[in-house]
């Protein structure tokens, strides 16, 4: 595997998708219409992209030999920010509830956010589970019993069934416990392992060597599926989040299209810049959204100004915060490390 330039594009898109999903969530409180629902469609891929990239990069870099201390390092990199930001969001929620005169218990709020993963950083718990699964998968040669190709199909059916049945039976455990269960995301693991295994054959000149992947990566198929989703959205028949049954095939088609068609498209400076701060943007942008909302209580903005402030403050705030945090010893560990993005084209051994 020589180049993974398309990972820049995937991470860039994933970062903007998560940001956009929460942005439209805010707008939906003031303007609830089908156009916002249509705009949500591309944003549902954000969380799956981050999970997929995590598995893909480590499998591409280490193969079936993860280094000593792999899990300890991942725990530090992932779980420390989870606890730090979880505390920030929990305390903010507690203070706001008390300020509004709503009875709130501090311990219950902390349990909801930290134990029940009741904030948007729940994806870190999912990622950590799959880091552990990758370590087991590689260390004990589980590919012999769980080959990626057939298990992508099986895993997709499991994930579709999981999201479908939990919706059908209206199963809602505390916090986001429903969302962090690996069954809903297992297809991402096997998709990542499959892409790594067939990565050389996924280059456009060699796609004929993997005919079924070539068919699934066709842009016409992705476009047709997106049109179908848009039509179902127009008639109000779909819910929009990364935890829906229809997202599973959408993400598979989108990812196969991306890793085959964007391989030779060099990432622009803007794409690389967002990549560098993507982890911080993901974790911190709702904190800056909340600042805009707080100001909005005292200085009512028009919807246009409110939207503009959410975009500007919500994007620049986390970048500045992340730069400052990473300039302090230990700040990157606490608040999310700035990713290393070299000026030259990224390779599998450079990707982190």
pLDDT tens-digit map of 271-293: 999 999 999 999 999 999 999 99
The rounded percent of the chain whose pLDDT value lies above 70 is 96
CA angle 169, 86, 69 (to 5 degrees): 100
Interval 30-35 mean pLDDT: 90
DSSP characters for 203-246?
Answer: SGGGGGGSHHHHHHT-HHHHHHHHHHHHHHHHTT----STTSTT
With a pLDDT cut of 90, the percent of the chain lying above it is 88
Q: Which residues pair with 323 in a beta bridge?
A: none
> pTM, whole model, 2 decimals?
0.93
Q: How far is CA 245 from CA 55, 162, 264, 295, in A?
A: 21, 8, 32, 38
Could you tell me which of 84, 124, 74, 120 has the C-alpha nearest to residue 330?
84
Res 31: pLDDT: 86
pLDDT tens profile 312-336: 999 999 999 999 999 999 999 999 9
Long-range contacts of 165-170 (CB under 8 A, 24+ apart): 167/239, 167/244, 167/245
Distance of CA 35 to the CA centre of its chain: 23
pLDDT at residue 345 is higher than 60: no
H/E run at residue 35: helix 34-40
pLDDT in tens, 36-51: 999 999 999 999 999 9
Comparison of pLDDT for 262 and 220, the residue scoring more: 220
Contact by Cβ (8 Å): 50, 126? no
Nearest 5°: the CA angle 167, 33, 285 is 75
Looking at the predicted structure, is the pLDDT value of residue 351 above 60?
no
pLDDT tens digits, residue range 129-153? 999 999 999 999 999 999 999 999 9
Task: Write the pLDDT tens digit of every residue in 243-261.
Answer: 999 999 999 999 999 999 9
Average pLDDT, the chain: 93
Q: Are 256 and 187 in contact (CB under 8 A)?
A: no
Separation between Cα atoms, residue 130 and residue 156, nearest integer Å: 16
71-125 pLDDT, tens digit each: 999 999 999 999 999 999 999 999 999 988 898 899 999 999 999 999 999 999 9
**Counting every residue, how long is the chain?**
352
Residues 6+ apart with CB under 8 A from 110: 87, 90
């Amino acid at each position: 595997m020589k180049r993974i330039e398309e990972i820049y594009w995937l991470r860039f898109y994933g970062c903007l998708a998560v940001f956009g999903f929460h942005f439209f969530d805010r707008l939906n409180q003031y303007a609830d219409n089908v156009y916002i629902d249509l705009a949500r469609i591309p944003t549902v891929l954000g969380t799956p992209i981050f999970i997929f990239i995590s598995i893909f990069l480590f499998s591409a870099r280490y193969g079936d030999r993860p280094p000593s201390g792999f899990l300890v390092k991942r725990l530090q990199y992932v779980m420390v920010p989870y606890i730090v930001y979880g505390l920030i969001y929990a305390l903010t929620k507690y203070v706001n509830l008390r300020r509004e005169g709503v009875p709130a218990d501090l311990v219950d709020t902390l349990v909801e956010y930290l134990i029940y993963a009741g904030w948007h950083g729940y994806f870190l718990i999912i990622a950590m589970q799959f880091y552990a699964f990758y370590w087991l998968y590689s260390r004990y040669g589980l590919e012999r019993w769980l080959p990626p190709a057939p298990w992508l199909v099986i895993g997709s059916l499991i994930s579709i069934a999981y999201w479908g049945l939990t919706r059908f039976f209206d199963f809602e455990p505390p916090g986001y416990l429903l969302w962090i269960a690996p069954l809903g995301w297992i297809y991402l693991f096997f998709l990542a392992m499959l892409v790594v295994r067939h990565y050389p054959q996924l280059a456009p000149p060699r796609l004929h060597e993997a005919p079924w992947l070539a068919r699934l990566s066709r842009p016409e198929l992705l476009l047709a599926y997106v049109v179908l989703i848009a039509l179902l959205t127009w008639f109000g028949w779909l819910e929009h989040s990364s935890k829906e049954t229809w997202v599973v095939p959408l993400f598979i088609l989108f990812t196969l299209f991306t890793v085959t068609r964007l391989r030779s498209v060099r990432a622009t400076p803007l794409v690389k810049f967002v990549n560098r701060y993507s982890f911080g943007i993901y974790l911190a942008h709702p904190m800056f959204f909340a600042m805009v909302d707080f100001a909005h209580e005292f200085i009512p903005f028009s919807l246009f100004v409110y939207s503009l402030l959410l975009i500007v403050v919500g994007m620049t705030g986390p970048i500045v915060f992340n730069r400052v945090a990473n300039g302090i010893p230990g700040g990157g560990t606490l608040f999310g490390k700035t990713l290393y993005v070299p000026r030259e084209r990224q390779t599998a051994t450079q990707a982190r």
